[in-house]
Structure 1
Amino acid sequence: TAVLPKCYEQPRTESEWENSFTLKMFLFQFVNLNSSTFYIAFFLGRFTGRPGAYLRLINRWKLEECHPSGCLIDLCLQMGIIMVLKQTWNNFMELGYPLIQNWWTRRRLRREHGQKAKDGFPQWERDYNLQPMNVYGLFDEYLEMILQFGFTTIFVAAFPLAPLLALLNNIIEIRLDAYKFVTQWRRPLPSQAKDIGIWYGILEGIGILSVITNAFVIAVTSDFIPRLVYAYKYGPCAGQGRAGQRCMMGYVNASLSVFRVADFEKKSEPTTNGSEMFGDAVKFCRYRDYREPPVSADPYSYTLQFWHVLAARLAFIIVFEHLVFAIKTLIAYLIPDLPKDLRDRMRREKYLIQEMMYEAELERLQKEKNERKRRKERNGHHKEWP
């Protein structure tokens, strides 16, 4: 006897299968396209160690670090490349592929039909020779827009220009899609849909993820929280309850730690001691971190300022998320899903339908009553006849 393979997923209806397929395809594309941005925002340069104690891959290669100005610049450049080049390439492929396919079809028809092709085919035959509508054509359009929405919202704190680029891309794509539907594709068959299906839940999930991600970008990736901590706790205005340009004096020096060059590990020893450039041998250097100097009792351990910054970051994430979600809930409550006039019209239509059904049922019962009455009268007349 044949052993049937075990199926872990058996959707009962076609809509369930479409929802499952949509969710899996979205998750695959989302992870594939956003993994680089998440890596730059939250992992790049976070686990490299410190000078003199670098973490190495297979005890050989030092891990990649951020730009000296911070990882936010790298994230901004990555988002700019994605929003400009990727969207341009997508528009080119959406229009270029059917153009090339139709050109190849016309070339093949000219070779097969000869003079008839030169004289011109009738309009219906030219329309038939266009590219057929892809079965997942609408799915691809939805997927492209949802992914664009994710790029626009998830890292908008690092690249505020993303919504403008998305708007310009959509304006261009509307015209390209119109040209493609009219001249390059066969007319698609219309199909009725109640709503956008599982895409609505995916949009809700992206909205929640974007709030959390932007909170972490502002708190962890940018220097917003370290600057606030320095301005109110360690700067010239510490304890005064105010912050300004003068209060940030000395911030760069406070954000850099001191390292003794003699403590370099053998794999990281510099090739020169700097005497060619500075005249004297360089004994100390600076790096971005909050660590004790090498002459302290516990060298290269985290300072108190590091723990203050960490606590401020965690507090900001919690406050920011709750505040944004509270505002979102308030706006959703104040703005109903259906306008008041439309809701009243739907209620009136429902009332009229119920009234029509009641009158129809009442008329049916009246007819049955009259029919029974006439039948009873006929039966009584037949009994009196003899």
Structure 2
Amino acid sequence: MLRTCLLLMQTEQPRTESEWENSFTLKMFLFQFVNLNSSTFYIAFFLGRFTGRPGAYLRLINRWKLEECHPSGCLIDLFMQMGIIMVLKQTWNNFMELGYPLIQNWWTRRRIRQEFGQKAQASFPQWEKDYLLQPMNAYGLFDEYLKMILQFGFTTIFVAAFPLAPLLALLNNIIEIRLDAFKFVTQWRRPLPSQAKDIGIWYGILEGIGVLSVITNAFVIAITSDFIPRLVYAYKYGPCAGLGHAGERCMMGYVNATLSVFRVMDFESRSEPRTNGSDMFGEPVRYCRYRDYREPPDSADPYSYTLQFWHVLAARLAFIIVFEHMVFTIKNLIAYLIPDLPKDLRDRMRREKYLIQEMMYEAELERLQKERNEKKKSDRAHHNEWP
């Protein structure tokens, strides 16, 4: 991945070093972001969405049936995926980040001990012992930034499906602070300091992740979860429809309303059940149920979408639009009410700028006066020398 980005940078040929760093940072982030988030986006928005229905399944190369979600819903699959990423992946990253320099330094000490002896190694001055530590990677600070930005993305983009993500990220960062301190002090050579005005393009990437997280969470709540179908049933199709309120009693019959009827004899030949199709009493099973909003097989338009499906779809789209606009409005309002710089600091900066301009003006005025006096002296001397 690193070699691919460097090859792209050689082809792009940026004008300045800052442009090169910004372009390289963006490419590396996009590579890592797509690699790490493709599975979560697939589970949240694509898994089980295009499988078709019983009797008319969509198949890959007209052979393999597409994968479906867990019977409890795709939100459970997404929750499990996020839990694995936030717990196991972060633990493994911390182990590798600390274990690799430990192993490298152990191997270096072992090689030095075999070459010079244990007593000679113990007599090395401190600067030579520090030199034998692992050099900091040329992209060491970049890797730290990239890891934090990716963690911020995992924490915010699918927080509606995994609310424990911020807590797990906080615990991981508390542990990682001490691990990084141990690594910088005892396992790495002292890095060379470099001056930076700000975090550069990372700020724009954070802004982009923030916008993407609002959109993604809106789609997760509206499409992946059952929040909208439950509301539509409670206010439109349930026992309390038309009464203007919803509660536990109003959800009676919800599961039955989300299941459609399928006639067993309409199965495709490749999808027919392997059993004899009898129930526990030995009677042949004629109908089965599946999760969808479709007309029964005996209707005028069998297996077509019902009116409830279109109501749920319209409610989902309306929720996405309202949710996004509401969140962005609150965000812009908070950004307007809470400025980036406090008022007293901004006033001090303006005063310093004014004082600097005044000093520059006085220095320029003094220089002009000095040049004028020197010119007068030279003219007077030239006049006195004239016969």
TM over 0.5: yes
User: How far has the Cα of 1:115 moved from its partner?
Assistant: 4.9
Q: Deviations over 1:75-115 (max 9, x none)?
A: 00000000000100110111000000000000111111125
Q: Deviations over 1:122-179 (max 9, x none)?
A: 1000000000111100100000000000000000000000000000000000000000
Q: 1:78 aligns with which of 78, 81, 92?
A: 81
161-170 or 118-127, which deviates more: 118-127
How far apart are the structure 2 equivalents of 1:85 and 1:47?
30
2:327 maps to 1:340: no
How far apart are the structure 2 equivalents of 1:305 and 1:93?
51
Structure 2 partner of 1:114: 117
SS at match of 2:295: coil
SS at match of 1:275: coil
How far apart are the structure 2 equivalents of 1:283 and 1:377?
121
| Alignment gaps of 5+ in structure 2 | 1-9
| Alignment gaps of 5+ in structure 1 | 1-6
How far apart are the structure 1 equivalents of 2:271 and 2:374?
105
Matches for 1:347-386 after TM superposition, within 5 Å: 347-383=350-386
Structure 2 partner of 1:95: 98
Q: Deviations over 1:167-200 (max 9, x none)?
A: 0000000000000000000000110011111111
2:64 maps to 1:50: no
Structure 2 partner of 1:226: 229
Structure 1 partner of 2:269: 266
Question: Residue 289 of structure 2 aligns to which amino acid in structure 1?
Answer: R
How far apart are the structure 2 equivalents of 1:279 and 1:244?
40
Question: Do the aligned residues in 1 keep the contact of 2:112 with 2:121 (CA within 8 Å)?
Answer: no
Compute the RMSD of aligned alpha carbons. 1.3
2:50 maps to 1:26: no
How far apart are the structure 1 equivalents of 2:281 and 2:384?
131
2:13 maps to 1:10: yes
Structure 2 partner of 1:62: 65
Question: Residue 363 of structure 2 aligns to which amino acid in structure 1?
Answer: A
Structure 1 partner of 2:256: 253
13-22 or 31-40, which deviates more: 13-22
SS at match of 2:262: strand
Structure 2 partner of 1:327: 330
SS at match of 1:300: coil
Question: Do the aligned residues in 1 keep the contact of 2:136 with 2:189 (CA within 8 Å)?
Answer: yes
Q: 2:157 aligns with which of 147, 154, 158?
A: 154
Cα distance change, pair 176–286 in 1 and its aligned pair in 2 (3 A): same
How far apart are the structure 2 equivalents of 1:93 and 1:278?
58
How far apart are the structure 1 equivalents of 2:203 and 2:120?
48
How far apart are the structure 1 equivalents of 2:58 and 2:120?
69
How far apart are the structure 1 equivalents of 2:74 and 2:104?
43
User: How far has the Cα of 1:219 moved from its partner?
Assistant: 0.6
Q: Deviations over 1:254-280 (max 9, x none)?
A: 000011111111111112245363432
How far apart are the structure 2 equivalents of 1:72 and 1:297?
34
Structure 1 partner of 2:294: 291
Question: Residue 50 of structure 2 aligns to which amino acid in structure 1?
Answer: F
Question: Do the aligned residues in 2 keep the contact of 1:128 with 1:186 (CA within 8 Å)?
Answer: yes
How far apart are the structure 2 equivalents of 1:285 and 1:272?
14
Question: Do the aligned residues in 1 keep the contact of 2:279 with 2:285 (CA within 8 Å)?
Answer: no
Structure 2 partner of 1:215: 218
Q: Deviations over 1:50-72 (max 9, x none)?
A: 11111111222111100111000
270-279 or 346-355, which deviates more: 270-279
How far apart are the structure 2 equivalents of 1:115 and 1:227?
72
User: How far has the Cα of 1:375 moved from its partner?
Assistant: 2.2
How far apart are the structure 2 equivalents of 1:282 and 1:28?
51
How far apart are the structure 1 equivalents of 2:69 and 2:302?
24
Q: Deviations over 1:272-307 (max 9, x none)?
A: 245363432221111100001111111111100001
2:201 maps to 1:201: no
Cα distance change, pair 252–276 in 1 and its aligned pair in 2 (3 A): closer
SS at match of 1:259: strand
Cα distance change, pair 358–118 in 1 and its aligned pair in 2 (3 A): closer
Fraction of identical pairs, as percent: 88
**TM-score (normalised: structure 1):** 0.95
User: How far has the Cα of 1:370 moved from its partner?
Assistant: 1.9
Moved over 4 A (4+): none
Question: Do the aligned residues in 2 keep the contact of 1:109 with 1:117 (CA within 8 Å)?
Answer: no
User: How far has the Cα of 1:230 moved from its partner?
Assistant: 0.5
User: How far has the Cα of 1:8 moved from its partner?
Assistant: 4.9
2:35 maps to 1:36: no
How far apart are the structure 1 equivalents of 2:383 and 2:305?
109
Q: 1:179 aligns with which of 182, 185, 195?
A: 182
2:225 maps to 1:238: no
How far apart are the structure 2 equivalents of 1:8 and 1:132?
29
Structure 2 partner of 1:4: none
How far apart are the structure 2 equivalents of 1:375 and 1:52?
106
Question: Do the aligned residues in 2 keep the contact of 1:273 with 1:282 (CA within 8 Å)?
Answer: no
User: How far has the Cα of 1:116 moved from its partner?
Assistant: 4.5
Question: Do the aligned residues in 1 keep the contact of 2:218 with 2:320 (CA within 8 Å)?
Answer: yes
User: How far has the Cα of 1:38 moved from its partner?
Assistant: 0.4
Structure 2 partner of 1:3: none
Question: Residue 104 of structure 1 aligns to which amino acid in structure 2?
Answer: W
Structure 1 partner of 2:4: none
Question: Do the aligned residues in 1 keep the contact of 2:157 with 2:216 (CA within 8 Å)?
Answer: yes
**TM-score (normalised: structure 2):** 0.95
